[in-house]
Structure 1
């Protein structure tokens, strides 16, 4: 698989007729036309460091500069604070493939574009691939996973589960102390 970068394309895209009138479902029942300039595409043709690139309306390509600072905290995992450092023009020459999946109510739409750049200027952009697939299997899988998660959360919140958790904690503590005792005795009585 590998890593990728994000690509936003404000330049007009050669969209198939079928996808031009897509609606974006922001909230249940509230739909608005899908703004393709804000659609998050992915690409493996840059550094693959989860950076954000934007193809502007005039065909220039820019990279968002992110300054990251690792801050220690009391937990095992440090926090990463990201600050925007502005944008910089990218002098890329070559092809850039970028792709995305729009999940609609009845169908999933895979769309892939190929853009040709010369020294950071967009020369041409093509629709490389478009697939429309029935999403009933994906929706059924998502519903099954959601149901399983809700059942697990409900089970976790029961008082009997809390009692089991405390019981297991006590048993593990006692077993751990016993193991440490045997380890100490072994070190004492082992002949070297």
Structure 2
């Protein structure tokens, strides 16, 4: 029996991250500011967490939200920069197929959570300014915990379907990602299928990513 019309779709076991397109020869030099920024991010955010933990006068909602922001920054930078530096320093470009999608979830999920934290911090300051005498009664520990849960669940619920959908596409064309990280559209563009659903779903997240990336820059 002829198998000429049969197509076998298989996903690669790994993706290959090429780094920064067109600047491969300068990766060693480019790694210096990235490594410096990562070290500063680790030092700065751990310092914030340590100071808030050890100083009782800072045990207030505003500083707890700041700690949440520090934790998200740590998770985000750690999910991207160690692998990026390994590409720059050791030419270690392979990333496991499933690990790539975990990184994708961390990137977009954390950015979504950060936007929620900024909203929570804005609400906290609004209450402190408009109702200073009732601030402690309104911003209780229970409200703080609920706000944190909403922020985290919002990030998971919005981003997880996007990542799971990207995980389901068949990747039979190439496994080379011409970027240093597994961003959503960086990977989905490699799928050998109509990925318009992923593109439409991810469009709002690209705006969030751009806004937060600009803020960090």
- Specify the structure having the higher radius of gyration (Cα): 1
TM-score by length of 2: 0.21
TM-score by length of 1: 0.23
Higher helix share: 2
The structure whose RCO (Cα within 8 Å, separation 6+) is larger is 2
Higher strand share: 1
